[in-house]
Amino acid sequence: DAGVIQSPRHEVTEMGQEVTLRCKPISGHNSLFWYRQTMMRGLELLIYFNNNVPIDDSGMPEDRFSAKMPNASFSTLKIQPSEPRDSAVYFCASSYRPSGQGMNTEAFFGQGTRLTVV
Amino acid sequence: KNQVEQSPQSLIILEGKNCTLQCNYTVSPFSNLRWYKQDTGRGPVSLTIMTFSENTKSNGRYTATLDADTKQSSLHITASQLSDSASYICVVSARGYQKVTFGTGTKLQVIP
C-alpha cells in the first residue's frame, strides 16, 4: 500500500482565497483524522471521521474550516476564506478501528500539506 | 485538563552517544502512550505503544519505559545515528473514545 496520500504537498495562496486539501486514506482503514501542526502549538486534532461520519469536529477552529468524507477513500479539508494565521502543515491520518474501540489504534500519517497564506 | 509535557525541548548529541527523552502526562483515565518519530518534512511514524501494564518496550535501538504511578515515560536511544535526527512526540490516549493528547515534542539533532 502507498500509505496515506495527501495533495498538494505545498500550497501558497493569498488571504481571502479558498483552499482545499485532499486526502486518500489507506485502503481498509475506517477512521480518518485531520491535524494541524505549527511550531507554537504542535499537533492539534481538527476533526475525526469514523466510517465516513464526522465523530468529533470540536478541534475545527472556526466556521471558515470544513471537512467532508464523501466515501471511504477520499476526504477534503476546506478553508474559506483563508487567513495568514492558517499557515501551518496539515496532516491527514488514517487507522483501522475495530468496533467498540476508541481512537487508540495506531494512526498512519500522510506527508502533510504545507499551507502558506500571504 | 489533560496535558502532556516533554523535555528537553531540543537536544544535540554526538553520533554514537545515548540519550533519554522525557514525557510527563496528566491524562486520565489512562489507556496508552505512544512515541512517534517525525522526520523533517514528513508525517509522524509510531515507534512504540505502551499500555498501563507495560513497563518497558523496545524497538531496535529505541527503548520506552512507562511508570503509570508517577505518570512518566521515557524514550531511550542507544548508540545514536545521524538518521535519529528528528522530532520525537509523546501521545497519550484516555480510555474510551476521547481525544488523544499530544506533547509538543523534543527536537533531537545527532551530529558527527
Nearest chain B alpha carbon to A110: B43
Average pLDDT, chain B: 93
Give the tens place of pLDDT for each residue, A3-39.
Answer: 999 999 999 999 999 999 999 999 999 999 999 999 8
Inter-chain CB proximity B41 and A111 less than 8 Å:
yes
Secondary structure of chain B in HEC code, one letter for each residue: CCCEEEECCEEEEECCCCEEEEEEECCCCEEEEEEEEECCCCCCEEEEEEECCCCEEEECCEEEEEECCCCEEEEEECCCCHHHCEEEEEEEEECCCCCCEECCCEEEEEEC
Above 70 in pLDDT, residue B4?
Answer: yes
pLDDT at A116: 98
The reported pLDDT for the residue numbered A62 is 85
Closest CA–CA distance from residue B73 to any residue of chain A (Å): 17
Residues of A in contact with B94 (CB under 8 A): 102
